[in-house]
Chains A and B, each alone.
Chain A
Amino acid sequence: MSGQDSNLNNNEIRPVHTNKVGGSPFKGVVGWIDNRLPIFRIFKYEYLDFQVPKNLSYLWSLGGILMICLIFLIVTGLVLGMHYKPSSSEAFVSVEKIMRDVNYGWLLRYAHMNFASFFFIAVYIHIFRGLYYGSYKEPRQLMWLIGIIIFFMMMATAFLGYTLPWGQMSYWGATVITNLFSAVPLVGNTIVTWLWGDYAVGDSTLNRFYVLHWFLAFGILGIVIFHVIALHIVGSNNPSGIEPADTRDTVSFAPFTTSKDLFAMLIFLLAFVLITMFAPNYLGHPDNYIPADPLITPAHIVPEWYFLPFYAILRSIPDKLLGVIAMVSSTVVLGLLPWLDLSKVRSSVFRPIWKQFVFLFVLDFFILMYVGGMPAEGIYVLIARVGTVYWFLFFLIIAPLVSLTEKTLPMPNSIHEYENWKKQGRIKTLKIF
């Protein structure tokens, strides 16, 4: 409204540009299109000419690998959806039909299943990379937060997807996870009934889970675009944690980074193919080949492997509501890290104390993963409790404390100097990193 007023009140005449046609670096048909829809120049500027730090290690290939996983998951999911039936009486049978009758159905389903697992393998390494090299620090906080949101969405999508085959683990996994909401005071049971559309997990639950599984998959794709746009604004971090200053510090994204990423993808896909072809059910649970039975809970319920650390945290606390809060918080604190770690030095290479705690955190992750798959009794409960305490201690106490007290190692002034120091042996890094 104020704009209108100023237009009316001021006699000043200014040109306006309602069409912005032009400015393409291309000629011919490509230029004609690019003048009207700037996709070619975005690709040129953001991928071909894009400068990235020259010292990126293979740990920086995980972003591309995750993109490949997401695309393959969507493609295999699309074709599985052509055969799957989301009803409690038909779901299990339709999955078995996919496995036995549909042409290449076994391959498509095993690929979809294992891509989900490999998606999580890649995302955990990706998160570790960010943690170790301080990729969450200024100016990359928002990008880190978007990443954590994607991680949450991945977990929701994976959980929903796991219920679809309607086996025993599907059914009881869905029951346990939806019951987490019953911990909400006062309205908990109303929420759970609303989620189910019934008084127990049933036909209506499965149908909506199928729809939401699709919806979230494409939601992830959408948020990933934000993650990538943010990356192209703030630029890639690198093992030294030093911002590139001139061309001595960088290379063009293509062909240098792209060829390195392609090689990493090949190795990753090789591992994927080995598992999918020779041990397709290794990462799954045999009980999910038993049809869902609402009267019998399997003696030992375990979620998919990638949820085990969080499941261990849930079980380590003997109070229902607090357990749920702890489990959710364990991922939320990860998102708060940019504001908990106050050190100006990004890379752990120059942070001798913090580095130890990061490795301890990785160990903690695996220990929690192990006890999460064990029965909740005896020594396992104790280990899970110690692991949970360290998890929160790491973020809430150790991160701020170490960042304020630690004496960091002397740092080079630039990435090319960093590379020279590395050659001279003045900086010790693990070879692969």
Chain B
Amino acid sequence: MSENNNNSDKKNRRDFLTVVTTAVGAVGVGAAVWPLINQMNPDSSVKALASIEVDLSKIKEGQEITVLWRGKPVFIKNRTKQEIANAEKVDLKELKDPQHDNKRVKKSEWLVLVGVCTHLGCVPISGKGDYGGWFCPCHGSHYDSSGRIRKGPAPTNLEVPTYEFVGDNKIKLG
């Protein structure tokens, strides 16, 4: 009887040691692998470049400029009254990614967009497409004058970057 007990006792201790060793081993492997994975993420020097200021005073009504921010193009457009009106009167039910124009701008004449198609990352062309906004040449997505997706494979509206007005004619991106 005592022999049997000893045996099962031994087994339980062995099982416990196996589990503990495996667990510690797994944590160790995880800790060793994480630096190998995380090294591929953007480092601090890349993140530090993440905010820039843009002067808007030279952009006339109807004009648009493109600036490079975090390696991506950002469209800044001084919209005409017609374009603003068109963007505002759209019925949200028609939209694939419903969002009212006033949720996408801080001042209604200034539209600021990340100029990267939400489909596969091409740069849409300004003033083309069926909705008076942008058209992506790669796979045929149409955006309206608020940068919202209207037709084509892109799943969401053009992204509005984080920005704020730092004066009447100047914005800070990022």
Interface residues of A (CB under 8 A from B): 172, 175-176, 178-180, 182, 193-202, 204, 208, 294-301, 315, 317-321, 323, 375-377
Contacts and interface: CB of A to CB of B under 8 A. Distances in A.
Interface string B116-154: 100111110100000000001111100000000000111
Nearest to B124: A297
A10 B42 CA distance: 61
B139 A315 contact: yes
A185 B13 CA distance: 44
Interface stretch (B26-34, B55-63, B69-77): B69-77
B72 A300 contact: no
A318 B120 contact: no
Contacts of A320: 119-120, 153-155
Interface of B: 37, 40-43, 46, 50, 66, 68, 70-73, 116, 119-123, 125, 136-140, 152-155
Contacts of A317: 153
Nearest to A180: B120
Given A176-B121, A193-B42, A297 B72 contact: no
Contacts of B119: 179, 320
Nearest to B115: A295
Contacts of A175: 120-122
B122 A297 contact: yes
Contacts of A200: 70-72, 116
Contact of B71 (A198, A299, A318, A321): A198
Q: Sorted from nearest, which 4 A-B pairs have the closest CB atoms?
A: A200-B71, A199-B70, A179-B121, A179-B120
Contacts of A172: 122, 138
B104 to A, nearest CB: 19
Given A176-B120, A199-B70, A301 B138 contact: yes
A405 to B, nearest CB: 38
Contacts of B138: 172, 176, 297, 301
A301 B153 contact: no
A194 B40 CA distance: 6
A296 B123 contact: yes
Contact of A299 (B40, B73, B137): B137
Nearest to B47: A199
A224 B152 CA distance: 41
B97 to A, nearest CB: 12
Given A196-B42, A198-B42, A299-B137, 18 more contacts: A175-B122, A178-B121, A179-B119, A182-B121, A194-B40, A197-B41, A199-B50, A200-B71, A294-B72, A297-B123, A301-B138, A315-B139, A319-B153, A320-B119, A320-B120, A321-B155, A376-B139, A377-B140
Contacts of A323: 153
Contact of B122 (A178, A204, A208, A301): A301
A300 B137 contact: yes
Given A199-B46, A200-B71, A295-B73, A208 B123 contact: no
A96 B168 CA distance: 47
Contacts of A199: 42, 46, 50, 70-72
Nearest to B46: A198
A92 to B, nearest CB: 17
A297 B135 CA distance: 12
Contacts of A197: 40-43, 46
A201 B120 CA distance: 12
A295 B71 contact: no
Contacts of A321: 155
